[in-house]
A and B are shown apart, each in its own frame.
Chain A
Amino acid sequence: MSFWFWHGLRKGIQSTRYPARAENTPGVSPGRPVNTDFSTVEEAQLAAEICPTDAIVAHGKSTYVNPGKCVHCQLCLHSLQSPMNWETGYEWTRLPADGKEALPFPASFAKSMHIMVVDAGDCGACLHEVKQLNNPLYNMHRLGFFLTATPRTADLLLVVGPVSENMRGPLLKTWEAMPTTRKVMAVGGCAIAGGVFGKSFMCACGVSAVLPVDFEVPGNPPPPLAILHGLLVVAGRKSLNSPRPISEGRP
């Protein structure tokens, strides 16, 4: 059995250098569509029309993307004559669209933050990407992020999924059991705006319909580094994503 120890050591350090350095290995992020200026009004119109979730809004020759609504169907990348511009990064964490100014935790949290993860009707992708943060390639422990054993000692509530009716109760109970200094982070398009599930008798159309949300990580699903960026923002160690000023599809 001791051979595992050697095999472990022999692999060397595998973890990403992010956030000290940018991580650019291909495949760590699928990227996402961004605001695009087309050469004709028609092209902009076509881009807006192809989007199944109305995440793209055309305004003259320009299009604006609401990343919270994008479900990453790739239609505006592969099915248009003139595709949308696609950015390759992952530092996407933003404040909720309701304009509330959430502040990150004070500096005392910078070195250690305890996280409670709740799956509120998620399809498995976002949760799986959160799980990846535990694997040696991302290893969130090295940055002082830990999963807690109880909501009583949790600093951050990380919610994935659109909030299914059957999970509304458990989600609220978890939130209520946390200290009031808590922050809430909605991870993924479904947790932000309901994703493909929208609003129905069974879905709340996002976490903000149930709880006050402080930070949002868009993506369908956001890749592990995007979630890690979110954690760093909450801990006050990274700054928010600031897209071109006219965002949110509201020119």
Chain B
Amino acid sequence: MATHSSPIAGGNIAGLADLTGMIVERFGDQVAQLRAGANFILTLSVGQPSALPTLAQFLFWEHGCLFGGITAEEHSNHWQIHYTFLLPGSGWIDVEFSMALETKTLPSIVTEVHAADWHEREIEDLFGIHFENHPRLGDFVLHDQIWHEGIDPMRKTFSAERPQLERKVDLEWQPLLVVGDPGSFAMPVGPVYEGGIGESLHFLLETVGEDVIRAAPRLFYNYRAVEKIAEGRSIPDALLLAERFAATSAFAHSLAFCLAAERIAAVEAPPRAAALRVLLAELERLRHHAGAIAAICESTALAVAAAQASIIEEQLLRASCVFTDHRYLFGLNTPGGLNRDFELEQCKTLLATVDKAESDLRILERRLRLSSSFLDRLEDVGVVIGESARDLNLVGPIGRASAQHCDLRRACSYSGYGRLAFDVPCETEGDGYARLRILFAEATQSARLIHQVADTLEGGPVRVAYEVNHAGAALGWTEAPRGAALHWLRVDERGIVERYRAITPSFNNWLGFHVAAENFAFQDFPIILATFGLSATECDR
């Protein structure tokens, strides 16, 4: 094994020297190269695919790394597969494996890292790479009733513009049902909701009568092939996609995209822009959480509380609009900083609304705590215990309600979060009520961050010149309102996007939804769904 003479040996990053030593000892020849880089604190090139599962198992379970995701890239004559892990407090680790384009099989790491399940399914469906020993490949992003296998739209040879008219669809296709008891049946819900407004998403509630045994979501109705159509676009054009594929967390995603683009060009947003980005990101989180709280109250039919929370949300939407000219914070981020600056007066008006929202939320929380019939419906409902949450690598507020502390603002700071004081609330019960408490606690922290930023805002420009004149790739990440968002961007020397990959918290967490939705009463279904608060469109991209 060749070790680079790069700064990692010094181990100025906590835990990294240890880790490198252990990898050298354990994996010896299987890891062809070990190097530090601008993007990742550590890149491991794996020589033999057989080493992937054991290496993944070592990093995830033995070394306590978090799983980021899997990204496949098709180069002119080879595949490059990135398995991304996070060493909390230090940075990202890239386990990289290259193979000839003709080789289209890889060992699955699902047995070792359960959280890789959907990543492998997605890559199989969109690139046609087969994962050996994966329990269930096939029908995933491209629904088998309307698409046949082998289309592989993410391959470079596939043209996104050409409509796929001739499809050999599988008319026999049937959803996979697990419950086989006599008298059991499946109740379909969605993708079009009757009497309500919901994102396109389908569930099969498998039941034997009163109780639902299992509820499996079927996603990707909103798949717009964002990663595919981004290819060939310029960075600003691709940014429009990054910002608009999941609008309820538009700012977090556009920020992650811009951070990646900035890392490629070795440009950093000026301090004022970085601070304002934190302010805007926290404004988005506050608004999102107010909306999520409203949805939870509504799912339990507590109409007054739902109304009051949705008023808070609307007030924040209006304040966002007054402050930025857009209710969902579109059009602000740009590679190199922000598109515009804000006046002090504007900040003051915003702060007043934020304070009001925060104190209203506190009052609401106090009242909810006194509403025993409301709490009865949340407590012990949709429980995800800590071990499952770890196993499935749940992120964001859902993970933190099940004792998973990870918050990227802390675990791998960006945009100056490292210098700010805030708490990362964490609960252990993992039920609906714990998730509600996390939402309230995080909303308070967001208001605190907004104040800190506004109080210490420096002058100066909000944007630096941005230009790409060399090919490169980089990872950008943010803690979006629903959890960790990872954006991987590769551009050529003219700044044209060659590969864009967005790993979203909803994609991550939908995988774990079935754990919460096991053996429950029918009427609890909307509550479990609301306390998870996931977005289908953020997952589908």
Tell me the smallest distance from the CB of A159 to a CB of chain B, in Å. Answer: 11
Per-position binary interface string of chain B over residues 204-229, scored 1 when its CB falls under 8 Å from any chain A CB and 0 otherwise: 00000000000000001111111011
What 6 pairs between A and B have smallest CB-CB spacing? A27-B318, A125-B247, A74-B331, A135-B310, A27-B321, A149-B195
- Whether A27 pairs with B237 at a CB distance below 8 angstroms is no
- Whether B339 pairs with A79 at a CB distance below 8 angstroms is yes
- Whether A135 pairs with B244 at a CB distance below 8 angstroms is no
- Whether B197 pairs with A147 at a CB distance below 8 angstroms is yes
Taking beta carbons and an 8 Å cutoff, which residues of A are in contact with B? Answer: 1, 3-5, 7-8, 11, 14, 25-31, 52, 71-75, 77-79, 116-125, 127-132, 134-137, 147-151, 161-162, 164-167, 169-171, 173-174, 195-203, 220-221, 223
The complex places the Cα of A13 from the Cα of B80 at a distance, in Å, of: 60
Interface residues of B in 191-205 (CB under 8 A from A): 191-200
- Whether A127 pairs with B197 at a CB distance below 8 angstroms is yes
Minimal Cβ-Cβ distance residue in B for A147:
B195
- Whether A135 pairs with B314 at a CB distance below 8 angstroms is yes
Of the candidate stretches B51-59, B82-90, B158-166, B174-182, the one touching chain A is B158-166
Q: List 7 A-B contacts (CB under 8 A).
A: A8-B304, A8-B307, A73-B330, A75-B339, A122-B222, A132-B317, A196-B240
- Whether A137 pairs with B322 at a CB distance below 8 angstroms is no
Give the chain A neighbours of B321 by CB distance below 8 A: 26-30, 223
> Main SS of chain A's interface residues?
loop
- Whether A52 pairs with B307 at a CB distance below 8 angstroms is no
Most buried by B among A29, A30, A137: A30
Specify which of A4, A120, A200 is in contact with B302 (CB 8 Å cutoff): A4
- Whether B339 pairs with A202 at a CB distance below 8 angstroms is no
The complex places the Cα of A210 from the Cα of B223 at a distance, in Å, of: 17
Q: Given contacts A166-B222, A170-B200, A197-B224, are A221 and B305 in contact (CB under 8 A)?
A: no
Q: Given contacts A4-B367, A72-B330, are A202 and B200 in contact (CB under 8 A)?
A: no
Q: Given contacts A31-B325, A223-B327, are A124 and B246 in contact (CB under 8 A)?
A: yes
The complex places the Cα of A123 from the Cα of B372 at a distance, in Å, of: 36
Per-position binary interface string of chain B over residues 302-343, scored 1 when its CB falls under 8 Å from any chain A CB and 0 otherwise: 111101101101100111111001111011100000011000
Specify which of B162, B228, B236, B310 is in contact with A136 (CB 8 Å cutoff): B310
Q: Given contacts A124-B199, A124-B246, A201-B164, are A164 and B223 in contact (CB under 8 A)?
A: yes
- Whether B308 pairs with A11 at a CB distance below 8 angstroms is yes
Give the chain B neighbours of A220 by CB distance below 8 A: 244, 330
- Whether B248 pairs with A128 at a CB distance below 8 angstroms is yes
Tell me the smallest distance from the CB of B39 to a CB of chain A, in Å. Answer: 27
Q: Given contacts A25-B318, A52-B240, A135-B311, are A167 and B191 in contact (CB under 8 A)?
A: yes
- Whether A26 pairs with B318 at a CB distance below 8 angstroms is yes
- Whether A162 pairs with B224 at a CB distance below 8 angstroms is yes
Q: Given contacts A3-B367, A164-B224, are A169 and B307 in contact (CB under 8 A)?
A: no
Most buried by A among B143, B161, B228, B310: B310
Give the chain B neighbours of A196 by CB distance below 8 A: 240-241, 244
Task: Let me know if B359 is at the binding interface, CB within 8 A.
Answer: no
Task: Let me know if B97 is at the binding interface, CB within 8 A.
Answer: no
- Whether B224 pairs with A202 at a CB distance below 8 angstroms is yes
Per-position binary interface string of chain B over residues 356-384, scored 1 when its CB falls under 8 Å from any chain A CB and 0 otherwise: 00000000000100111100000000000
Task: Let me know if B537 is at the binding interface, CB within 8 A.
Answer: yes
B-side interface residues, number (CB < 8 Å): 76
Minimal Cβ-Cβ distance residue in A for B142:
A166
Give the chain A neighbours of B370 by CB distance below 8 A: 3
The complex places the Cα of A240 from the Cα of B540 at a distance, in Å, of: 35
CB < 8 Å A-B pair total: 213
- Whether B199 pairs with A127 at a CB distance below 8 angstroms is yes
- Whether A197 pairs with B308 at a CB distance below 8 angstroms is no
Tell me the smallest distance from the CB of B145 to a CB of chain A, in Å. Answer: 8
Q: Given contacts A164-B224, A170-B191, are A27 and B143 in contact (CB under 8 A)?
A: no
Task: Let me know if B535 is at the binding interface, CB within 8 A.
Answer: yes
- Whether A73 pairs with B327 at a CB distance below 8 angstroms is no
Q: Given contacts A4-B371, A135-B314, A223-B327, are A166 and B220 in contact (CB under 8 A)?
A: yes
Give the chain A neighbours of B226 by CB distance below 8 A: 197
Tell me the smallest distance from the CB of A38 to a CB of chain B, in Å. Answer: 21
Tell me the smallest distance from the CB of A172 to a CB of chain B, in Å. Answer: 11
Give the chain A neighbours of B244 by CB distance below 8 A: 71, 123, 125, 195-196, 220
Minimal Cβ-Cβ distance residue in A for B338:
A78
- Whether B304 pairs with A197 at a CB distance below 8 angstroms is no
Task: Let me know if B270 is at the binding interface, CB within 8 A.
Answer: no
Q: Given contacts A117-B197, A130-B197, are A124 and B164 in contact (CB under 8 A)?
A: no
Specify which of A29, A147, A202, A221 is in contact with B223 (CB 8 Å cutoff): A202
- Whether A200 pairs with B197 at a CB distance below 8 angstroms is no
- Whether A200 pairs with B198 at a CB distance below 8 angstroms is no
Specify which of A11, A123, A137, A165 is in contact with B247 (CB 8 Å cutoff): A123
Give the chain B neighbours of A52 by CB distance below 8 A: 236-237, 240
The complex places the Cα of A124 from the Cα of B370 at a distance, in Å, of: 33
Task: Let me know if B352 is at the binding interface, CB within 8 A.
Answer: no
Specify which of B196, B311, B331, B340 is in contact with A137 (CB 8 Å cutoff): B311
The complex places the Cα of A40 from the Cα of B40 at a distance, in Å, of: 50
Minimal Cβ-Cβ distance residue in B for A31:
B325
- Whether B222 pairs with A137 at a CB distance below 8 angstroms is no
Minimal Cβ-Cβ distance residue in B for A11:
B308
Minimal Cβ-Cβ distance residue in A for B219:
A166
- Whether B325 pairs with A30 at a CB distance below 8 angstroms is yes
- Whether A73 pairs with B367 at a CB distance below 8 angstroms is no
Minimal Cβ-Cβ distance residue in B for A165:
B146
Give the chain B neighbours of A77 by CB distance below 8 A: 325
- Whether B311 pairs with A136 at a CB distance below 8 angstroms is yes
Most buried by B among A3, A134, A136, A196: A196
Q: Given contacts A121-B200, A132-B314, are A221 and B328 in contact (CB under 8 A)?
A: yes
- Whether A4 pairs with B319 at a CB distance below 8 angstroms is no
- Whether A201 pairs with B161 at a CB distance below 8 angstroms is yes
The complex places the Cα of A151 from the Cα of B195 at a distance, in Å, of: 9
The complex places the Cα of A15 from the Cα of B368 at a distance, in Å, of: 24
The complex places the Cα of A52 from the Cα of B269 at a distance, in Å, of: 23
Q: Given contacts A136-B307, A196-B240, are A167 and B222 in contact (CB under 8 A)?
A: yes
Minimal Cβ-Cβ distance residue in B for A154:
B194
Give the chain B neighbours of A122 by CB distance below 8 A: 199, 222, 537
**Other contacts beyond A166-B220, A202-B224: 17, CB < 8 A:** A1-B371, A52-B240, A72-B326, A74-B326, A74-B330, A74-B332, A120-B200, A124-B247, A124-B538, A135-B311, A149-B194, A161-B222, A201-B153, A202-B160, A202-B225, A202-B228, A203-B225
